[in-house]
Amino acid sequence: MGQVQEANGRLEDLHRLRDGYLRNVSHEFRSPLTVIRGYAEFVRDQGVPADSSLPDVMGVMLDSCDQMIDMVDTLLEVSRIEQGETSRRLDVRPVALDEVVDTALASVRGLAEKKEARIDISFPKDPLRVTGDSSLLAHAFRHLLSNALKYGPARGTVFIRAEAREGQAVLEVEDQGIGISPEHLPRIFEKFYVADAGLDRRRGGAGVGLYLAREIVRLHRGSIEARSQPGHGSVFRVSLPEPEPAPASEAST
């Protein structure tokens, strides 16, 4: 018994070490990346001959930097959430779901333009409210939207639908993309899980976006699920409890 306890204790120490290491490495990555990004922007914006390919090359460098910075930020957010899942003080208040979606949309606007994608939004007339931390929720939706764009076709449509259902605010993000095969579907919310681990993973990231989205939704006592028809697209559904007519102080527990 004592040996088992000791082994468990050591395992926990190892997990803590690993998480700390991940957080430190992420931090360390971020600084040089932002420096490279800054210089790439500087070079791109220098006056260069019109026939030079330099602006295009620098544009690609900038995009890659943004992608890496985004991945690092996601890893940092994951570690913050895992660290303080029980102790983190969420900035919980009633928030309008359409405003949270707007914030998330603003951060994927560039990606949508690049893909020439259309965003079709359908919200009920009466504003939907949830109780939560709007910035964290926007983070979660941002990952769903950026996946819908990443894995969706060029000039496709991403549908965002929301409705109130049995005391829940239900939000769906639907794309017309490559879809997810049944063997991968049950695992896509796992940390570091990537459905297509082939060499051509230009679209994919580190496999933490959906994990983070699920953790954030869980922190809000909600649920998230995905359904998909390979080759025809995917639908991600988030259900969050609508605010109860209870004193605001109860909401932060």
41 vs 82, beta carbon nearer ligand ADP: 82
97 vs 213, beta carbon nearer ligand ADP: 213
Distances 127 to 130, 142, 162, 167, 187 between C-alpha atoms, Å: 10, 20, 10, 14, 33
The conformational region for residue 18 under phi > 0 = left, psi -120 to 50 = alpha, else beta, is alpha
40 vs 211, beta carbon nearer ligand ADP: 211
Nearest to 144 by CA among 70, 59, 39, 238: 238
* Binding status of residue 29 toward ligand ADP by CB under 6 A: no
What mask, x for binding ligand ADP by CB under 6 A, covers residues 125 to 144? ------------------x-
Interacting residue with ligand ADP among 72, 128, 138, 210 (CB under 6 A): 210
The conformational region for residue 217 under phi > 0 = left, psi -120 to 50 = alpha, else beta, is alpha
Distance CA 141, CA 96 (A): 14
175 vs 242, beta carbon nearer ligand ADP: 175
Distances 22 to 75, 190, 208 between C-alpha atoms, Å: 8, 17, 13
In this structure, what token pair is assigned to residue 123?
Answer: 């919200």
Q: Interface residues for ligand ADP in 141-180 (CB under 6 A)?
A: 143, 147-148, 151, 175, 177-180
Minimum gap (Å) between residue 48 Cβ and ligand ADP:
34
Nearest to 240 by CA among 100, 54, 108, 105: 100
Nearest to 128 by CA among 102, 97, 160, 103: 97
141 vs 151, beta carbon nearer ligand ADP: 151
In this structure, what token pair is assigned to residue 230?
Answer: 């390979």
Interacting residue with ligand ADP among 95, 101, 130, 209 (CB under 6 A): 209
Q: Is 16 helix (H, G, I), strand (E, B) or coil?
A: helix
- Residues in Cβ contact with 182 at an 8 Å cutoff, skipping those fewer than 6 apart: 230
112 vs 178, beta carbon nearer ligand ADP: 178
* Binding status of residue 234 toward ligand ADP by CB under 6 A: yes
100 vs 210, beta carbon nearer ligand ADP: 210
Minimum gap (Å) between residue 193 Cβ and ligand ADP:
6
Minimum gap (Å) between residue 82 Cβ and ligand ADP:
15
Q: Interface residues for ligand ADP in 33-72 (CB under 6 A)?
A: none
- Count of chain residues binding ligand ADP (CB under 6 A): 23
Q: Interface residues for ligand ADP in 178-207 (CB under 6 A)?
A: 178-180, 188, 193-196, 204-207
Binding residues for ligand ADP, rule: CB under 6 A, are 143, 147-148, 151, 175, 177-180, 188, 193-196, 204-211, 234
